[in-house]
Chain A
Amino acid sequence: MVDIIHYLILSGVLFAISIAGIILNRKNVLIILMSIELMLLAVNLNFIIFSHFLNDLSGQIFVFFILTVAAAESAIGLAIIIILYRNHGTINVEKLSGLKG
C-alpha cells in the first residue's frame, strides 16, 4: 500500500536533490536553473499529494499557477544566462562573483 508518507518522502528527496544541485554545483549556471525547476516540481508534487489526500482541488489549481510562473521564470532565467554569456564570455559559476559588489 502506497501511503501519503511515501509520496512526501519522494517530494522531500526531490527537494533535497535540487538544493544539493544548487549548492554543490560548481560548473554551469544552467544546472542551477534546472535545480530550481526541480525544486518547484517537488513543491508541485506536494500540492498534488495533499490535494488528493485532503480532497481539496484548490491544491491542484495552485499547481497550474506554479507551472505557469515556473515557465516564465525559466524563460527569463535563460535570457539572463544568454546576456551573461555575451558580457562575460562564460557561464561558469566559479567565475561569476559579481554579487560581491
Chain B
Amino acid sequence: MKSIYLIIVLSPLFGAIIAGFAGKLIGKTATHWIATGSVAFSFIFSMVVFKVHIFDNIGAFDETIYQWMYSGGIFFEIGFLVDNLTVIMMSVVTFVSLMVHIYTIEYMKDDEGYTRFFSFIALFTFAMLTLVMANNFMQLFLGWEAVGLVSYLLIGFWYKKETAIYANLKAFLVNRVGDFGFILGIALIVAYSGSLHYGQVFDVSSDLDRIQLNLLGYDIPLITLICMLLFIGAMGKSAQVPLHVWLPDSMEGPTPISALIHAATMVTAGIFMVARMSPLFELSEFTLSFIMIIGATTALFMGFIGLVQDDIKRVVAYSTLSQLGYMTVALGASAYSAALFHLMTHAFFKALLFLSAGSVIIAMHHIQDIKKMGGLKKYMPITYWVSLIGTLALIGFPGFSGFFSKDAIIEAVAHSNIFGSTYAYVAVLIGVLITSLYSFRMLFLVFHQKPRMGNKTKSHLKECSPIITIPLILLAIPSVIIGAITIEPFLFGDLLKTEIFVLPAHDVLGQMGQNYNGVFNFIVHSFYSPVLYLALSGILISGLIYLKYPFVADILGKRLSILIKILQYKYGIDELYKIIFAKASIYLGSFLSKTGDKTIIDGWIVNGSALLVQKISIVGKKMQTGFIYSYALVMIVGLIVLSIFLINF
C-alpha cells in the first residue's frame, strides 16, 4: 500500500514539474494530457485506496516514509497517516481536482499562461494531498503553506491585472496572520509534548490538559492556548471572521481555481485540521465556544453580504464564506463528523456552482455582472439545470446532498449546550433563509427574467462545449446523491469512530443518532422543523421579488438604502483594515524609512562617518605642510614627549 500512497501524492507533482518546466516545449495539448493524466492517475489510485480502506477495512496506515532530520529529540519526518478521514479527503480532493483539470482545458484554452496554469493546479493537488495525508505537524504545516503559496500564485495568475495583484497580496498577508498563530500552536505542542507526530501528541493530550501556563498574570490552561492558536490558523485558511477579507478578493483569479482552491478544497483545510485535532480541541471548551461563535458570525453576516453582490463569482464566494461558517459552527458543537460531511457535500456542489458560473462567464464573454445577464436558461440549458441542482443542494432542499449535511449541523447545534450555542443556533437558522435568498436571487437574475445584455453578446450566447459541461454533470451527480448515501456511515456509523474523538459530554451526534431511523425518516423529520420552511420561504421571497414583481426590488432598494450601503461596504471591515493595518504600516514604513533609514542610518552612521573623516582630514591636511622644519619640529616634540613618558613610567 505504501507505494500506492506515494504514487497518489507524487503523481500530480510529477505532472506539475513537467507542465511547468517543459510546458512550452511540448505544447499545450501534451501539457494538459500530462497534467490531467497525472491527476487522473492519482484519482484512480485514490479510488483503489478508498475501496481497500472503507470496504475491506484494512485499518489505518501510519508510517514514516522519510526522515528529514533529527534534532533535540524531535524527529522531522515525512509520513503518511491514511485512515478513513484521510481517504475521504483524498477522494474528494482528487475528484474535484480532476473535474477542474478537465474543465480548464476548455476554459483556459486561449490563455497565454495555459501551461503555467496546469502546472499550478497540479502542484496544488500535490500540496493538498500532502496536507491531508500528513501524519505529523511539520508535514501538515508544509502542505498548509504550499497550498497557500499556490493559492497566491493563482489569485495573481493574471499578473498584469492590478486588482489581481492587490488581491493576491492581500490573501497572502491575511493568511500570514493565521499561519503565525498556527505555527505558534505547533511550537507549543512540540515544546510540551516533545513530538511532532499526531499519534504521540494525542497520546499525551491528557498530560497537556493538566498544564497551566502563567501569561501576563493569568493562569491559562495550556490546551486552550494551543487550540486557540491552531484555530487562528484555521481562521486564516478557512476565511473566518475577522480573517475572511481575502476570500472574496481571491475571485480575481481564473474561475477554475476559485472552484478548486477557494471553494472545494483549500479553504476547507482549516476545517479538516480542526477535525483532525479533535482529541486536542475536545479538551478545551473555551475554544469550542469561540469556534462556534466565530463560525456562526461568519455564517450569518457573510451571507448578508451575498445578498447585495452583483458579481456572479462574488455571490458564490460569499456563499462559500457562509458555508465555511456552517462547518466551523459544527466543529464548535463537537459535531466534527457533521463538519466533514458538510465539507464533502459542499466541495461537490460549490465546485459545481463555481464551474457553472465559469460556464456562464465564458458564454457572456467575461462579463461577470449579474445585472447584465438574464434569460440564459434558453441558451444554456445544461448549465441552467446543473446550476439549479447546485443551488438546491446549497440551500438544503430535501433530498439533495446539502440538505443532509446542513440539517445535521443545525440539529447538532440545537443539541449542543456549550456557551454560545443559542446564538449559533439562531444565526444558522437565519442563515438558511439568507442562503436561499441570495442563491435564488442569483439564479433568477442570471437564468430567468428578460435578457439584459447587449445584442452583440446575445447573438454569441450558446451552451459551452462538452469539455465544460461533462465535468459539470459529473459534479452534479454527487451533489444530488452523495448526502443520502453517506449520511448514515458518516454521522451515525463507525466510519470516523477512530479518527474523531468526542467527549461523552459533547457527543451531540450520538444524541441525534438515537433518533435516527434511516434516510427517509430524516427527510420526513425535516418537515417538522423550521429549517425547511425557512429555505422554502427564501425561494418564495426571491421568486416573488425577482420573477413576479421586479419593482419590489427597487422599492426595497430605496427603503433599505442604508442597510444596503453597509452591506456593500462589507460592514467596513476592509476599510477598517486598510486604515488600521495598511495605513498604519505605511506610516510606520515611511517613518522608519525617513527617520530610521535616511536620517539615522544613512545620515548619521553612513554619511556621518564619512563626514567626520572629511572634517578630521581637513584639519590634518594643514599639518602636512611639506616643509622639512615642521616635520623636524613634530619629530622632536614627539621625541621629547616620548622621553618624558618613558622616564616617568
Contact = CB atoms under 8 A, between A and B. Distances in A.
A97 B632 CA distance: 14
Contacts, number: 34
Interface residues of A, number: 15
Interface stretch (A5-13, A16-24, A44-52): A16-24
B631 interface: yes
Interface string A61-101: 00000000000000000000000000000000110111111
B625 A100 contact: yes
Contact of A93 (B624, B627, B633, B636): B627
Interface secondary structure of A, over-half rule: helix
B629 interface: yes
B72 interface: no
Nearest to B630: A23
Interface centre among A22, A26, A32, A98 (most CB of B within 10 A): A22
Contacts of A101: 624, 626
A99 B629 CA distance: 11
Contacts of B625: 97, 100
Nearest to A99: B626
A22 B627 contact: no
A23 B636 CA distance: 10
B629 A23 contact: yes
A16 to B, nearest CB: 10
A100 B629 contact: no
Contacts of B627: 93-94, 96-97, 99
A96 B625 CA distance: 10
A96 to B, nearest CB: 7
Contacts of A22: 628-629, 632
A24 B624 CA distance: 17
A25 interface: yes
B628 A32 contact: yes
Contacts of A26: 629
A93 B626 contact: no
Contact of B633 (A23, A96, A99, A100): A23
A25 B626 CA distance: 15
A93 B628 CA distance: 8
Contact of A25 (B624, B629, B631, B636): B629
Contacts of A25: 629
A19 B637 CA distance: 11
A98 B626 contact: yes
A72 B628 CA distance: 21
A23 B632 contact: yes
Nearest to B621: A100
A26 B631 CA distance: 14
B631 A99 contact: yes
Nearest to B637: A23
A19 B636 contact: yes
A56 B627 CA distance: 41
A99 B636 contact: no
11 contacts: A19-B636, A22-B628, A22-B632, A23-B629, A24-B629, A32-B628, A32-B629, A94-B627, A98-B626, A100-B624, A100-B626
Interface of A: 19, 22-26, 32, 93-94, 96-101
Top 5 closest pairs, chain A to chain B, by CB: A97-B626, A100-B626, A99-B626, A22-B632, A23-B629
Interface of B: 624-629, 631-633, 636
Given A22-B628, A22-B629, A25-B629, 5 more contacts: A23-B632, A26-B629, A96-B626, A96-B627, A100-B626
